[in-house]
Amino acid sequence: MRMWSSFSEWFWQERLWLPPNNSWAALEDRDGLVYAHPRDMLAALPLALALVVMRFIFERFVGMPLSRLLGVRNHARRLVKPNATLEKYFLTEGWKPKEPQMALLAAQCGLTLQQTQRWFRRRRNQDRPCLTKKFCEASWRFAFYLCSFFGGLSVLYHESWLWTPAMCWDSYPNQPLKPALYYWYLLELSFYISLLITLPFDVKRKDFKEQVAHHFVTIILIVFSYSSNLLRIGSLVLLLHDASDYLLEAGKMFNYTNRRKVCDALFIIFSLVFFYTRLVLFPTKILYTTYYESIAERSPFFGYYFFNVLLMVLQLLHVFWSGLILRMLCSFLKKGRMEKDVRSDVEESDSSDGEADQGHLPLKNGATHRPGAAPMDGPRSRLAGRLANGHTPAT
């Protein structure tokens, strides 16, 4: 108990959280004024669990019916034949064995290399989420981000610091807390905690690690900014992020319903909003005011450095995602339509990886012909070739 008390006393040192010549005592509620207190954020934990429950209810009774109404169709998948050796390798060693290992597994199971490759492709497809699941997840995030953005905009619209970020530091840290700002802040923190809780069950994309890093940095930023009474600048960061997120989720929803024109239009709008808010407003308004204007009338302290480091991590993630978006935009300009999300793990067909289905290729002297090999002559060989390519003989 004494150790915990010592740690708590060290952790909440005023020099770590507040500018010089300020104390926690000055931020106690008085004369009808309410200030932010770190303990207030504990309410986010039960609220995060409530959001998880709300999400599953939403997906079950709103997302699923909406997906059927909009015509979302899951791809038909072929189940793999049970194979203990391949299943054990798939679960313990990895989804995509190298070709030498694939050949060794084929020999152990008495299969051809092509049959083994096909087994792994189908097994990978079995673990990939279906379109309905993706749609339901996107619809929940769309609903939250949309409500959060316009709710936050209504909270901040009449505040001076929304239009002039330098006002974030007026009388800091002696800035009373408004109830609407507290509830919006609490909701945002609860949502990002709920995303971490459901992470093992969500659709995993190629930027999974970056998403996890983003969630952790966001949670730390929200908690730290609230505890240090940096709510004004913290609220601007949250609002900038929510400005484009709901557009992304809406684009995903229309992509899953195969409404290409609406999806393409939303993607272009999302890209423009993302670039403007994350690569223009964020560095020129947010980073500028936190780096320079925040210490114009006070000395730097630990919280100043810590907060800015976290904001720079966010900016690096913005640059990373901007690169992915630019790749998709270049593809769009070349082909005239969106092909796919470069972060997505798409399903593989039986002829993936550039392979033809060689299981039924004609044999000569007991050896399977490789692609590009000269075909055998004769009508029987031509008929076998037509069958191998999926054609049926005319009757």
Domains of the chain: 55-69+130-344 (no CATH), 84-127 (1.10.10.60)
Higher pLDDT, 369 or 304: 304
Residue 7 buriedness (CB in 10 A; 0-12 / 13-18 / 19+): exposed
Task: Give the predicted TM-score (pTM) of the model.
Answer: 0.78
- Answer for the pair 313, 213: CB distance below 8 angstroms, yes or no: yes
Residue pointed to by tokens 């692609």:
371
Rounded to 5 degrees, what angle do the CA atoms 90, 96, 98 make? 115
Instruction: Look over the chain and give the mean of its residue pLDDT values, rounded to a whole number.
Output: 83
Look at phi and psi of residue 355 and say left if phi exceeds 0, alpha if psi is from -120 to 50, else beta.
Answer: beta
Q: What is the model's pLDDT at position 351?
A: 52
- Answer for the pair 44, 330: CB distance below 8 angstroms, yes or no: no
Closest CA to 328 of 285, 279, 267, 284: 267
Q: Is the pLDDT assigned to residue 153 strictly greater than 60?
A: yes
- Answer for the pair 40, 231: CB distance below 8 angstroms, yes or no: no
Closest CA to 314 of 187, 224, 206: 224
Q: Which two tokens stand for residue 301?
A: 């302290």
Q: Which residues partner with 367 through β-bridges?
A: 364
Residue pointed to by tokens 């507040």:
18
Closest CA to 154 of 239, 87, 225: 239
Residue-wise pLDDT for 201-219, tens only, equals 887 777 788 888 899 999 9
Q: Which residues partner with 363 through β-bridges?
A: 368
Closest CA to 128 of 352, 370, 382: 352
Residue 130 buriedness (CB in 10 A; 0-12 / 13-18 / 19+): middle
Q: Which two tokens stand for residue 116?
A: 């083994």
Q: Is the pLDDT assigned to residue 289 strictly greater than 90?
A: yes
Closest CA to 321 of 147, 221, 234, 205: 205
Mean pLDDT confidence for 122-141: 85
Could you tell me which residues come within 8 angstroms of residue 14 by beta carbon, excluding any fewer than 6 positions away?
22, 23, 24
d(CA 242, CA 188): 10
Mean pLDDT confidence for 367-385: 40
Percent of the chain at pLDDT > 70 equals 83
Instruction: Tell me how far apart the terminal alpha carbons of the chain are, to the nearest angstrom.
Output: 87
Higher pLDDT, 277 or 206: 277
Closest CA to 254 of 265, 263, 243: 263
Residue pointed to by tokens 């199971």:
109
Q: Is the pLDDT assigned to residue 117 strictly greater than 90?
A: no
Amino acid at 147: C
Amino acid at 10: W
Helix, strand, coil percentages, rounded to 5, for the chain: 70, 0, 30
Positive or negative, the CA dihedral 255, 257, 262, 266 is: negative
Q: What is the model's pLDDT at position 77?
A: 67
Q: What is the model's pLDDT at position 388?
A: 38
